[in-house]
Chain A
């Protein structure tokens, strides 16, 4: 997919340090050929003034919140950038970073890139990076959704709130698959945040893979033996049709009948990315594994449903592997 430009989303609640993170990232030579699209809430955009780089590959959307009012504008802005790149009007960027407003629900932004018939042939979704403010934590429903869709979590302001272990545990419990970086204490190199999870396996499974924040909770399902890919598709499309709004995230690697290597699936609410055929298993473990982050759905119901569709039992405590990186 070398000719398909990755689109990375930086999201996080208001004041959680998205722009500061972007500013640090843009200083990284690895992002020299990156176009940036910033969405600000309100009539007068301010955040972009914090970024020292203002050039023709930086686009500012000021119409309001990306999640509800300007999906069309987002789509048009990306198409415009693509058109200018093709005509040589702007430098040939190899990555697009979208910084959303703090109030934005990330799903429609991701959906815009994948659902648009033009965009999906030239762009693909890359990692979603979510900033979480160590001082204010997870106070709002928007924050939970932003954490749930993250491929990387960046904890900010830990210098102001050094005693944040409870928040760290909560974040890792809610989204066990997303590596967590501390922006104040660790380097936040672009490679750490944007290197594709698309071709890598699930990173890690916690020993106790169940955590909750109110009705939002995460869990891991593991099962032995090879799955029928078509039946899995029947099940997941049906589940997401009826309960997509409550499935904040589903991500996993599957042992598929007829395939020697695993298939990685990755979905956010109603949106499922094109499945990735991985080159190899990450370790000796051949269990299929699925991480769910759900809002108000029962693990037992999902587990029983998948088992019934697949025609095989789900192993409650399979040998869950912890793979590096």
Chain B
């Protein structure tokens, strides 16, 4: 997704960088890609729980982001995730929010 205008462009996010010589990515083969997606869901979930959101993998191609009441949307990648989370919850997702930080500190990261 374009960071400026929000237009979906089908890839190119730095967290899913294409495998090229010299580039660090976990996008090299299908096993690595699947493993990274599972890990990504687990890591993001630690933060998303604070907002009452859940994330799950969808067909190894997108992620489903859902509220506690079942409102859902598809997201492509981590960069897209936060805009979608704000839209679903109607509140800012700020990693500098002291309440979020306290929650993560209490949970041990």
Measuring CB to CB, which residues of chain A are less than 8 angstroms from any residue of chain B? 1, 4, 108, 111, 114-115, 117, 120, 198-199, 228-231, 233-235, 237-244, 256, 259, 263, 267, 269-277, 297-298, 301-302, 304-305, 308-312
Cross-chain contact of B10 among A117, A239, A269, A311 (Cβ < 8 A)? A117
What chain A residues lie within 8 Å of B100 (beta carbons)? 308
Residue B71 at the A interface, CB < 8 A? no
Closest to A228 in B: B43
Using CB atoms and an 8 Å cutoff, list the residues of chain B in contact with chain A. 2-4, 9-12, 14-15, 17-18, 20-26, 36, 39-40, 43-44, 46-47, 78-79, 81-83, 92-96, 100-101, 104-105, 108-109
Return the contact of B17 from the options A228, A274, A302 (Cβ within 8 A): A274
18 A-B pairs with C-beta separation under 8 A: A1-B20, A4-B20, A117-B9, A117-B11, A230-B36, A230-B39, A233-B40, A233-B43, A234-B40, A239-B95, A242-B96, A267-B14, A274-B18, A275-B14, A275-B24, A276-B24, A305-B96, A308-B101
Task: Tell whether A308 pairs with B105 under 8 Å between CB atoms, given A230-B36, A234-B47, A237-B79.
Answer: yes
* A1-B21, A270-B3, A276-B24 known, 10 other contacts, Cβ within 8 Å: A1-B23, A117-B9, A117-B10, A229-B24, A230-B43, A234-B40, A240-B3, A242-B92, A274-B17, A312-B109
Q: Which of B17, B24, B26 has the most CB of A within 10 A?
A: B24
The answer to whether A1 touches B96, judged by C-beta atoms less than 8 angstroms apart, is no
Given contacts A241-B93, A270-B3, is CB(A309)–CB(B104) below 8 Å? yes
B46 contact set on A, CB distance < 8 A: 231
How far does the Cβ of A254 sit from chain B's closest Cβ, in whole Å? 9
B25 touches A274 (CB 8 A): yes
Chain A residues positioned under 8 Å from B23 (CB to CB): 1, 274-277
How far is B95's CA from A237's CA once the two chains are assembled, in angstroms?
10
A111 touches B24 (CB 8 A): no
Contacts of B96 in A (CB 8 A): 239, 242-243, 297-298, 301-302, 305
**Is the beta-carbon distance between A308 and B43 smaller than 8 angstroms?**
no
Give Cα A228–Cα B46 distance, bound, in whole angstroms. Answer: 14
Contacts of A242 in B (CB 8 A): 82, 92-96
Contact B78 A234 (CB under 8 A): yes
CB pair A244–B3 under 8 Å, yes or no, is yes
A239 cross-chain contacts in B, Cβ below 8 A: 95-96
Give complex CA distance A309, B96 in Å.
Answer: 11
Whether the Cβ atoms of B4 and A237 lie closer than 8 Å is no
CB contacts between A and B, total, < 8 Å: 119
A3 CA / B40 CA spacing, docked (Å): 31
Cα distance A305–B42 when bound, in Å? 18
Q: Decide: B12 and A199 in contact? CB cutoff 8 A.
A: no
Chain B residue nearest to A231 (CB atoms) is B43
Flag if B43 contacts A277 (CB, 8 Å). Answer: no
How close is A95's CB to chain B, nearest CB, in angstroms? Answer: 17
The one of A115, A231, A259 in contact with B24, judged by C-beta atoms closer than 8 angstroms, is A259
What's the minimum C-beta distance from A245 to chain B, rounded to whole angstroms?
Answer: 10
Task: Compute how far the CA of A89 lies from the CA of B82 in the bound complex, rounded to whole angstroms.
Answer: 45
- Given A111-B4, A240-B3, verify A234-B43 contact (CB < 8 Å): yes
Point out which of B4, B11, B44, B81 has the most chain A C-beta atoms below 10 A from its C-beta.
B4
Q: How far is the CA of A198 from the CA of B92 in the complex (A)?
A: 33
Pair A274/B43 contact, Cβ less than 8 Å: no
What is the CA–CA distance of A233 and B26 in the complex, to the nearest angstrom? 12
Question: Is B81 in contact with A237, judged by CB distance below 8 angstroms?
Answer: yes
Please, which residues of chain A bring their CB within 8 A of the CB of B12? 114-115, 117, 120
Q: Which residues of B contact A304 (CB under 8 A)?
A: 101
Q: Distance (Å) between the CB of B62 and the closest chain A CB?
A: 16
Measured in the bound complex, the distance between the Cα atoms of B24 and A198 in whole Å is 12
Cα(A310)–Cα(B108), bound, Å: 9
> Across the two chains, which residue of chain B brings its CB closest to A311?
B109
Q: Assuming the A-B contacts A235-B95, A310-B109, are A108 and B4 also in contact, with contact meaning beta carbons closer than 8 angstroms in the complex? A: yes
Q: Are B95 and A238 in contact (CB under 8 A)?
A: yes
Q: Are B104 and A308 in contact (CB under 8 A)?
A: yes
